[in-house]
Chains A and B, each alone.
Chain A
Amino acid sequence: MQRHFRPKLRLTGIQWALVAALLLEVILFSIESPAFLTWVNLMEILRFSVELGLLAVALTPILITGGIDLSVGSTVGLVAVTFGMAWQHLHLPLLGALALALLVGCLCGAVNALLIAYLDLPALIITLGTYSLYRGIAEGITRASVSVTGYPSGFLLLGQGYFWSIPIQVFVFLFLLVFYAVLLHRSKIGRALYAIGFNAEGARYAGLPVRRYLALIYLLSGAVSGVAAIVYVSHLGLAKSDLGTGFELQAITAIVIGGTSVFGGRGNLFGSVLGLLFLCVLQNGLHLLAAPSEATGVLTGMLLIAVVATDLLNDKRPALSERWMRWKKPLLVAAGAVVVVLAVVLVGLERSSRSEAGAASGPRRPVIAVMPKAKGDPYFISARAGAEQAAKELGVDLIWDGPTSLDASMQNELVESWITRGVDAIVVAVENKGSISTVLRKARQHHIAVLTWDADAEPDARDYFLNQATPEAIANTLADEGARLLNGKGQFAIVTGALSAENQNQWIAFIKARVAERYPQMKLATVLPSDDDRDKAFSQTQNIMKVYPDVKLVIAISAPAVPGAAEAVQQSGGRVDVIGLSLPTICRPYIHSGVVQTIVLWNTRDLGYLTVYAGWLTSQKKIAPNATTVSAGRLGSLEIKGSEIILGRPMIINKGNIDRLDF
């Protein structure tokens, strides 16, 4: 047991196995995908792992003391918006904003430190509270809708530039890694942290300043989260209140895979870095193989259990000699890890065999990569059906992948991996134009056709925008429909998606503008979030009907919110009209029952069809530079305005036409 007390920088058995598994992973991915083992791709992996890596490094000593910090992801969000707002709205100089933001990060850490170290409160519950508190403050001060972009290029270098063809933020990471390595493995404090993890009471009796050291690492964790936030803002070129959502669990996953025990006392920084690299390589490799994003989560979960279980398996045999243990451990872990990596390869093989089945011989089929904003959204699911139809018709390979929930950073990461993979066209439904444009420009430099759909990027970052309807047109149609139902006067309420959703906030702004301009007697009573959850939209609408009895119209502007709002109205038997933006399939029962008067939408299946068709046309250079129309397969001739391909006006769907629509 004495060995454990010496906080060494040497790799333990599990970590050797992890090194082996990582190498195996790298070898398998490079066999499967030639683009994997290139300098550019490896540097991209590093770039995308820095933010998470900073959090993992800061969390490692906390886990070693047997504590936990769930608030790091929320701290990232709060520091990011503080920085953005201080710079843009308080007009502080960039360095001043930076200092203020880092101060806020330290403050976040200090609150945790005070409550956990000095008031003896359980870390799990305290940081669960601050997890909610910090994110809430970030949403509150920005009203969840402000996203700050337009940073000077000097600042963006930090997150997007290179130094000796190594991403600049990697140096920030290395600096902090060395700092933490010294702190944890080469200092008195590090040694004390292990002692606290083994037995806090014992450490106290041994005369160690337990509270002060605990406070220090929680404080540092806040500060490092602040640094991660600044790097992240610079990387994305964007500060928004939802940045860093879910980072805490990913960071903890990386640490635990790296062999650190959540019970404290065991683990080291090397392990965390290895675990982090393993996860980031896995994610990158899966993207390059065009395996669906969901595979990453399933495999990570399995890996987590495999690693920890194999690690524990040894403890059951205390009688075995230490020498045997030292060699048996890595073998067992390697076995577990290999199983998982094999699963990865199976997925990859299955995918590539499926895509090669159609074109065993003959020329390479063009690959069109289409990205929705969020894969699980019913709206994008129905677009996918159209995209698959077009791919079949044209004989091209379709990669359909995107974040599982709204996530601007994940979109960038996917585009990067598609560039590396070498697709022919990239068609993206943009979550945030500020953050994705840089990487889209890079794709164009690689001679990939770049199109946007659903929402646009910067015009110079793409070849064409597939314009299904502008936010303004959607908002105007909704406002006009609402005014028609209310006869131009009365109160209405809006049920939106998540408060920080970019599209929805645009629509709300345009609805407000339209109402102010044309229907002065209409009044917006309230805007409530549904978080894209049907059940929450249901409760919110129930509340609206009770709190604002004068509201006669609910405009629900997220696909799951319309059926939620409609069900609430239906169950209460109230006389409130519901209109909104949603899909015919999930609204059909309510349109038939008359609760939902109108939904506004375009033909999502046609839009999906157009993504692939236009992507293919552009990649084959089949659209003349000054063309005013384009022939898009079964959609016939579509108008081109500037660099926008117009799908048509938004449709007004009601009782009369809903049964003719099958999407």
Chain B
Amino acid sequence: MNPRIREAGLLLTIVALMLLLAWRTTGFFSAANLTDLFLANMPVMMIAVGMMMVILTGEIDISVGSIFAISSVVMGKCASTGVPIWLSGLIACAVGVLLGALNGRLIAYVRIPSIVATLATMVALRDGLRWYTQGSWIQGLPAGFQWFGMSQSGFTGLCVVAVVLITGLTALGLRNLRMGRAIVATGSNRMAACAAGIDARRVVFGVFAVTGGLAGLSAVLNSVRFNQIPSNSGLGLELKVIAAVAVGGAAITGGSATMTGTVLGVILLSCIGSALTFLGINAYWEKAIQGGIILIAVAADTLKLQRRDHAKTLPA
């Protein structure tokens, strides 16, 4: 049950992978590659922060990929029709929050199981977006769109600051704020949390809205890396994020997850794909290796620690 053991194991795995990369390849640790790697996986990292909170409350959100796509398109549509870029970004984030809030509403107040509710919104939003855009890309974006009109390195700096702030503040908040404690409490035992005066429904509603907002924000930051916006982005994003959080040691039943673990999980899974290319391993095996890592990470956890309460950890 000690998350530190899991984190140490993860860290060791990452270090081993890094050593292998340092030994067998050149250029993986160049500043350019690390920057590229960071930018490519920024959406996963940001959404993973929200997903971790969702999983902490014992719920799950598989609609983030669709929300990501919709926010990207909203961002593009606004910017290409002459709305100032910062305002377009805000609108796109707001749309993310709104869609997340829709999920939250359905789950916390209508009490639909989260996997069912977000499965429904995932399918409906994705197909709705396809219906609306008919697959066409958004072009004709204004000149200052790419990198918010900043330099490339300036934009990268902004993203680093954003990610550090989001992860850091969330970690602190989960530990020290009343809100944060409420999230952990709701996940570890909902009845007890309610008895202690926590409005569990508001907590659940909140984490879904925040996750939607983070999906929107990451979509905004991701779209300005380019000068046109495809309408079908973020396919399969939800699985990447959930896998990273799970590898990071979050208990799917709620109540237990750490920010360190989540960050390490994201780092491990995002390095794998790129590492395969650097090591010259055939891309055909990428999915199998990712699946294997998820299984090993989750299985290793229980093999190390003899759990006594078997029944509690049965699929629920």
Contact = CB atoms under 8 A, between A and B. Distances in A.
Interface string A42-75: 0000000000000000000000011110000000
Interface stretch (B1-9, B45-53, B75-83, B107-115): B107-115
A249 B119 contact: yes
Given A133-B292, A304-B116, A539-B36, A298 B233 contact: no
B202 interface: no
Contact of A120 (B28, B233, B307): B307
B294 A132 contact: yes
A5 interface: no
A586 B139 contact: yes
A563 B146 CA distance: 15
B201 to A, nearest CB: 13
B137 A121 contact: no
A119 B295 CA distance: 12
A297 B124 contact: yes
A200 B32 contact: no
Contacts of A263: 113, 316
30 contacts: A116-B315, A120-B313, A121-B298, A122-B251, A122-B252, A125-B246, A130-B291, A130-B295, A131-B239, A132-B290, A132-B294, A133-B292, A135-B287, A136-B289, A296-B127, A297-B124, A301-B120, A305-B120, A308-B113, A308-B117, A378-B137, A499-B284, A528-B277, A535-B233, A539-B40, A542-B33, A544-B277, A546-B28, A547-B280, A586-B228
Contact of A308 (B116, B226, B251, B298): B116
Provide the main secondary structure of the chain B interface: helix
A526 B283 CA distance: 9
B120 A298 contact: no
A133 B283 contact: no
Contacts of A546: 27-28, 30, 32-33, 278
Contacts of B274: 539, 543
B121 interface: yes
A136 B277 contact: no
B134 interface: yes
B288 A204 contact: no
A65 B113 contact: no
Contacts of B227: 567, 589
A122 B299 CA distance: 10
Interface in A104-150: 115-116, 119-126, 128-137, 139-140, 143-144
User: Which has the most chain A C-beta neighbours within 10 Å: B113, B239, B316?
Assistant: B316
A534 B72 CA distance: 13
Contact of B112 (A305, A375, A528): A305
B135 interface: yes
B255 to A, nearest CB: 13
B42 to A, nearest CB: 11
A200 B316 contact: yes
Interface in A455-477: none
A129 B60 CA distance: 16
Interface string B119-156: 11111111110110011110100000000000010000
A264 interface: yes
A165 interface: no
B124 A298 contact: yes
A201 B311 contact: yes
Top 5 nearest A-B pairs (CB, nearest first) are A301-B124, A136-B288, A297-B127, A133-B291, A136-B287
Given A67-B315, A131-B291, A586-B137, A120 B127 contact: no
Interface string A187-212: 00000000010001100100000100
Provide the main secondary structure of the chain A interface: helix
Interface string A94-110: 00000000000000000
A376 interface: yes
B178 interface: no
Interface in A66-95: 66-68
A116 B252 CA distance: 13
Given A139-B284, A297-B123, A312 B111 contact: yes
A577 B307 CA distance: 57
A295 interface: yes
B85 interface: no
Contacts of A586: 137, 139, 228
Nearest to A144: B284
Given A139-B288, A256-B116, A305-B120, A124 B277 contact: no
Contacts of B289: 136
For the side of the interface on A, what is the size category?
A: 35 or more
A563 B312 CA distance: 50
A426 B253 CA distance: 51
B222 interface: yes
A308 B233 contact: no
Contacts of B113: 261-263, 308
Given A121-B302, A124-B60, A308-B112, A136 B286 contact: yes
Given A294-B128, A294-B130, 4 more contacts: A128-B246, A312-B111, A567-B226, A571-B152
A66 B233 contact: no
A547 B277 contact: yes
Contacts of B152: 571
A375 B135 contact: yes
Contacts of A412: none
B285 interface: yes
A253 interface: yes
Interface string A492-524: 000000010000000000000000000000000
Contacts of B88: none
B288 A300 contact: no
Given A129-B298, A140-B285, A309 B36 contact: no
Contacts of A526: 277, 280
A306 to B, nearest CB: 9
Contact of A547 (B106, B137, B239, B278): B278
A309 B112 contact: yes
B127 A294 contact: yes
B232 interface: yes
User: Which has the most chain B C-beta neighbours within 10 Å: A123, A298, A378, A533?
Assistant: A298
A222 interface: no
Contact of A132 (B40, B112, B243): B243
B228 A249 contact: no
B172 interface: no
Nearest to A292: B131
B196 interface: no
Contacts of B127: 293-298, 301, 404
B230 interface: yes
A432 interface: no
A543 B277 contact: yes
A579 B264 CA distance: 38
A514 B28 CA distance: 33
B110 A309 contact: yes
B100 to A, nearest CB: 16
B235 interface: yes
B257 to A, nearest CB: 12
A124 B314 CA distance: 11
A330 interface: no
Contacts of A376: 130, 134-135, 231-232
Contacts of A480: none
Given A66-B316, A125-B252, A204-B311, A136 B290 contact: yes
Nearest to A70: B239
Interface string A374-399: 01111011001000000000000000
Interface string A229-269: 00000000000000000000100110010000111100000
Interface in A519-561: 526-529, 531, 533-535, 538-540, 542-544, 546-547, 560
Interface in B22-37: 25, 27-28, 30, 32-33, 36
A120 B273 CA distance: 29
B307 A133 contact: no
B220 interface: no
A312 B108 CA distance: 12
A174 interface: no
